[in-house]
Structure 1
């Protein structure tokens, strides 16, 4: 069994985070960066770039994909004769129209439009079924950068190859007005839980001594390459015969990093408090309760410099008050990364100052926008029914909500010196044709949409610069002259070792000479 890294052990032991941070991220910040006084990050859910923006004019979209990148291979590496059916049906349970598994059989081995009037003719307001979007499966789907085994290693069959014409979305129009980044990748392989940590700290959460803990049965069985789940003996040989089966598809790596969904140790959490225990905590005996984390976050670094910041969570207080419900607001507990960190435990001053209630439908966040009361750095997480996640909500509701937030930001007293980044946490298991750059063991994963909104934006352009989620942290680090999070240094080093371009810091999307 591999041991935790020395860095992780030092932080878990309570060593000062500042001791392990690099002194700078670049020799000098770009000129004019101090013109940005307010940074706003809006974090939506589970869409690949090609799924929504694959037809955007001037972007590297589906029309630019090679025939090889569109063709999906079976588990044996040979081309599939057709796409597998969408296992268990295309639309989510209880959603109209009902499109069952049989209706999705015999689709051509190629990307297809869900809103094609001659096909499924679904609107952006349709809730489609969820897809696997997990740490190991995504690496298996990427297949070394060929992106040709999405259907092979999915639980949703053909649905991975689906896309919409997004040209009628309000955010498409925002992208046309400002800047669409078409080479922006999710920082980590897999799902929302892991990629929210990438946004908060560019780090992988840990579960110390997991093999002796309630989570011992959540440790994944992985092949010797460290990126492939071990197949079960009864796994179907072909994707046309059924979903793959694994010996143990767990939430933890063999060396105890948490890479798939674990629950916060503090409320709000999907795990209730222990019987007779502190009501502000989740039951630590539950296998999916992650112990409090101690890595340095971007919030810690901002606080050390006296720079204001906040994480605004839609429906946070309503959920704490027991009012969370489906379909509204459907608060997602694992989308709140700072709620996993000991520095923001219940009762701490830092929690009261920085973990903010965004209000139902973002009402309190919007009120702060309108009043000009946003701190220097704000993160906004829409509530579940407004985040665009497959399986429990649609694209249209979240897209309209985010466009409305942008409209408020454009009228804010703070707008004149603002940078807004709208992006998605990860691809949601959906295919994209662009190979992610090769870096470290954590990612980056597939390409996702990102829109840069600012009075300093190079308006009406598509930015082809290579970015990932950590590019947001790079911008914040440079703007406020912060120490460098270890994960950023790790990624820089890994990219260089793999002869890949470095990640951008978002400034290529801006004209700071104004």
Structure 2
């Protein structure tokens, strides 16, 4: 059809047959409905400043002030130096060996772990783990001052460590330069991986009914009247320079029975074996760390109700199930520095009753990502990913301090993205790469004041997509729940209760509601 004929076509007919070539009627800008596939890749335990503090154009270490980088002792006085890194900076059997004694007298300031003139510990070396727990995280944040990370740590001065990567050292850094890096993105909940994975899928905190009469009664935390700090043991060291703190009870449950630190799934694969003579698909309910099945509404329920396809792909899932069936469950999952080093508490849907073993829901939606992500990558290459996909790398590829390093996990995720970019589904895809929580590492930006559960410390997030703004640093306020908000917005789902409660709390505190990631995209809103 030539241009004269097009321009003579009645507007109604032109709209019906998709002709918008004449002036004023042409608009090829994609809309949110152009997004057909959402892929969430969930790595582990890095604050924003720990990895991206030197990223050009971002709110990084150059904006840190003495007030939020200089660390205080437990009595509120300024520390003369950072505490030693208790137990050493690197773990046993790892080169270079950085002992505790070698970390004495560090200046009270952020320091580069990979500084050639310092510890010279590169991104491919595993460092020791750090506290990343619910109450401790709040105590470290200290009302937004971020000046008590060293005081309430079990790793001493390591909390102030960061890396100085660039696009040559860190593949995801290069992708962040090419697409969108969000520098105002916070972990959804205070504390660790267990709780933040729950907030990723349900914006909720698990509950353990009648915990005070349950096997878990000994794990009810002793909390001060402020509701956010733990009660110190009488024998706890007074100064952070002397030793790590000790508490009356830093448990897995709140005094009103919410599960906030690591509990194990009620279904295999779990860190707890099945009961002797019991159902081999279950975890022993008499174990103090087995969480009862959860019944809160999660994003999978909403997607099912709307007829939107979805799946959680977990690296080494099939191998972990096989281990559980052979009776080794609870043995292979620890921080043993072996591959694949699967973590059951990183599998949030495995806690929900409507995804129990034997259900059709589980068979359809909890899928094996394969060792090294091989099965997930097969689905990527074949163009058979569901509309909403979560991918959790196996332990040695997730960047968690204590049992793996940054480099191999970063490279793995970059390799996965390279496959996604070649996928038949790429042209209509949005990929969100983020971290579950800060892993105990300091960050200089104060989290916005929200609800009882969070948000917690700032973490990196990268949006990779044909629709992503190119070479863009997005300063919009986001947290982990922004991923749920994006999915909810795109597929016109009802809001999970936790999303509404979070926004109400943010606004009530004088702040603003969380963004839904659409500002990272070049789309017509």
TM range (shorter): over 0.9
| Kept after mapping to 1: 8 A contact 2:503/2:512 | no
Aligned length: 485
TM-score, normalised relative to structure 1: 0.93
How far, CA to CA, are the matches of 1:275 and 1:139 in structure 2? 39
Deviation of the 1:486 alpha carbon: 0.5
User: Which residue is equivalent to 2:266?
Assistant: 265
Structure 2 residue matching 1:239: 3-state secondary structure: coil
Q: CA RMSD in A?
A: 1.2
2:310 paired with 1:309 = yes
Map 1:64-83 to 2 at 5 A. 64-83=63-82
List runs of 5+ in structure 1 lacking aligned partners: 1-29
Q: Distance in 1 between matches of 2:523 and 2:77?
A: 50
Secondary structure of 1:284's counterpart equals coil
Runs of 4+ in 1 over 6 A off after TM superposition: none
Query: Equivalents in 1 of 2:180, 2:131: separation in Å?
Result: 30
User: Match of 1:126?
Assistant: 125
Quote the Cα distance in structure 2 between the aligned partners of 1:321 and 1:469. Answer: 31
Q: CA–CA distance in 1 between the matches of 2:305 and 2:94?
A: 48
Unaligned runs of 5+ in 2: 1-28
Name the CA distance, whole Å, in 2 between partners of 1:150 and 1:255: 26
1:31 is displaced (CA, Å) by 8.3
Select 2:406's aligned residue among 395, 418, 427. 395
CA offset digits 1:184-220 (Å, max 9, x no partner): 0000000000000000100000000000000000000
Do 2:32 and 2:524's aligned partners in 1 also have CA atoms closer than 8 Å? no
Does the aligned pair in 2 maintain the 1:43–1:424 contact within 8 Å? yes
1:140 and 1:84 mapped to 2: Cα distance?
A: 17
Residues 1:435 and 2:436 are matched in the alignment: no
The residue number in structure 2 matching 1:188 is 189
**Matched position secondary structure for 1:321:** helix
Question: Which residues in structure 2 correspond to 1:103-502 (within 5 Å)?
Answer: 103-167=102-166, 168-322=169-323, 326=336, 327-502=338-513
SS at match of 1:343: helix
Q: Per-residue CA shift, 1:41-65, capped at 9, x if unaligned?
A: 0000000000000000000000111
Q: 1:355-400 CA deviation, whole Å, 9 max, x = no partner? A: 0000000001000000000000000000000000000000000000
Conservation of the 8 A alpha-carbon contact between 1:93 and 1:129: no
Shift of 1:239: 0.3
- Using structure 2 for the length normalisation, give the TM-score: 0.91
CA deviation after TM superposition for structure 1 residue 141, in Å: 0.2
Q: 1:189 aligns to what SS in structure 2? A: coil
Q: How far 1:448 sits from its partner (Å)?
A: 0.2
Hey, what's the Cα distance between the residues in 2 that align with 1:103 and 1:241? 16
SS state of the match for residue 42, structure 1?
strand
Tell me if the contact between 1:49 and 1:449 (Cα under 8 Å) persists in the aligned partners. yes
Quick one: distance in 2 between partners of 1:453 and 1:513?
A: 18
